[in-house]
Amino acid sequence: MEGIYQHFRAEEHSFIDVALEWILQVEDQYTPRLTDFLDPRQRLILESVVGGYDHMKVKFWGGVAHAERRRALIYPDYYEPTDTDFQITLFDIRYPVKFTTLSHQTILGTVMSLGMKRDIFGDILTENELWQFFVMSEMKEYISLQLDKIGKVNIMLEELSLDQALPVRTDWEYVGTTITSLRLDLVVATAHNISRQKAKQLVQGKLVKVNWKTVENPDFECEELDIISARGYGRVKLGEINGHTKKDKIRMEIGYLR
């Protein structure tokens, strides 16, 4: 499996090491291994690593179809997994909607302030004034006891069945463009129609993530299928690179969530 490292960026090698530990644990104990919530890039890496092992499989589930963050179940091929194996709880946030509003950032910031890792939580869902989030079932009792405010807003949590989850936005609309290089600051500037200097400030200010990891280097080289989010500007996905123009600019597509 040494060759797996060459297919991924150097900063992703530590996650490959963790994935290999999970797989060896399943091999040794011959029982399934459930992970925390993983982002799409981590799932891609894990799926690639598991693919190098005979009689080993992996399945992902985030509580609802098309969830961005999902738990992984690594298991021997004799095992037949079900959705209940993933131990996911859905909470609905009840709050005074007539007097205040919530935001994704405020909700995430509050739950993180409880001293828990982001990996414990799945997607945060919203529709109009409704807000829900997924969490590992192992932590639901603790969260129920600890989380009674979002920011300064008093809230109550109500556990719902997973089939009551709000829909997930999944449609990307791609726009063709040309770009002189795939430097992160240039990609952010092009995607959001802002100046190169402004994009560089966002990156250096730790406000830009590539595949859910903060990147502070404006020179960072982006690749096809990278998901790039800039605080205050939203998220984009890099599509196919379609060669070069006569002036040697890169032809590519940038996807925006509808």
Instruction: Assess whether 57 and 134 both reside in one domain.
Output: no
Instruction: Give me the pLDDT at residue 157, please.
Output: 96
List phi, psi (to 5°) of 23: -65, -45
Which of 85, 113, 141 is at the close of a domain? 85
Specify the number of domains making up the chain. 3
In eight-state DSSP terms, residue 203 is H
Which CATH number covers residue 176?
Answer: 3.10.290.10
Instruction: Assess whether 66 and 122 both reside in one domain.
Output: no
Q: Are 155 and 148 in contact (CB under 8 A)?
A: yes
Instruction: Give me the pLDDT at residue 64, please.
Output: 93
Query: Token match 């605080």: residue?
Result: 231
Instruction: Assess whether 110 and 186 both reside in one domain.
Output: no
Instruction: Assess whether 129 and 180 both reside in one domain.
Output: no
Which CATH number covers residue 94?
Answer: 3.30.70.330
Domain that holds residue 30: 2-85
**Cα–Cα distance measured from residue 56 to residue 42, given in angstroms and rounded to the nearest whole number:** 18
Which of 85, 112, 135 is at the close of a domain? 85
Instruction: Assess whether 73 and 34 both reside in one domain.
Output: yes
* Tens digit of each residue's pLDDT, the chain (258 residues): 567 888 888 888 999 999 999 999 999 999 999 999 999 889 999 999 999 898 999 999 999 988 989 999 999 999 999 999 999 999 999 999 888 888 887 898 888 888 888 899 999 999 889 999 999 999 999 999 999 999 889 999 999 999 999 988 777 889 999 999 999 999 999 999 999 999 999 999 999 999 888 899 999 999 988 999 998 888 899 998 888 998 899 999 999 976
